[in-house]
């Protein structure tokens, strides 16, 4: 059975997304197609945890993509502390497809600090690692 969509979904310039299917665990690429992170969770506006959306009201909006260490909480339950999650504003997302593409470079995002740390502290210290192979 195919899903039914609101009749005004295209007219209003909005796209109906299934968070689990289109967003969660998707890879995020920056404007230069550099991998940034994977989506772990979403920050949704005007929606408390476990709250049902009343019929006839506007659907909630995505405020941000969240990424961070969530494996243990998915396996054993609970939620990671908010301080451990990195936030990428939804306004920075340029397209949603097989991967999510951003309008910004990864250097400006807190979510890519781990990649930068490994690049600078570990990979960068390997002899010959700071230039392209010949």
Domain-embedded: residue 58: yes
Q: Is 38 left (phi over 0), alpha (psi -120 to 50) or beta?
A: beta
Domain-embedded: residue 25: yes
pLDDT for position 40: 87
d(CA 110, CA 85): 10
Domain-embedded: residue 11: no
The dihedrals phi and psi of 82, each to the nearest 5 degrees, come to -55, -30
CA 40 to chain centroid:
7
Question: From the first residue on, what is the mean pLDDT of each consecutive set of 10 residues in the chain (134 residues)?
Answer: 44 68 90 89 72 74 85 75 84 92 87 73 79 64
* Domain region containing 63: 19-125
d(CA 90, CA 66): 10
CATH number of the domain within which 90 lies: 2.30.30.240
Secondary structure class of 44 (helix, strand, coil): strand
Domain-embedded: residue 115: yes
- How many separate domains does the chain show? 1
């Amino acid at each position: 059975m195919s899903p039914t969509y609101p009749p005004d979904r295209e007219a209003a310039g909005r796209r109906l997304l299934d968070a689990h299917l289109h967003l969660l665990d998707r890879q995020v690429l920056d404007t230069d197609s550099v991998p940034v992170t994977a989506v772990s969770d979403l920050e949704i506006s005007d929606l408390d945890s476990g709250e049902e959306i009343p019929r006839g009201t506007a659907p909630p909006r995505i405020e941000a993509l969240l990424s961070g260490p969530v494996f243990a909480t998915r396996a054993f339950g609970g939620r990671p502390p908010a301080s451990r999650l990195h936030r990428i504003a939804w306004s920075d997302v340029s397209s949603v497809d097989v991967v999510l593409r951003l309008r910004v470079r990864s250097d400006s995002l807190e979510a890519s600090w781990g990649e930068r740390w490994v690049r600078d502290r570990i990979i960068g210290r390997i002899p010959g690692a700071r230039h392209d192979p010949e």
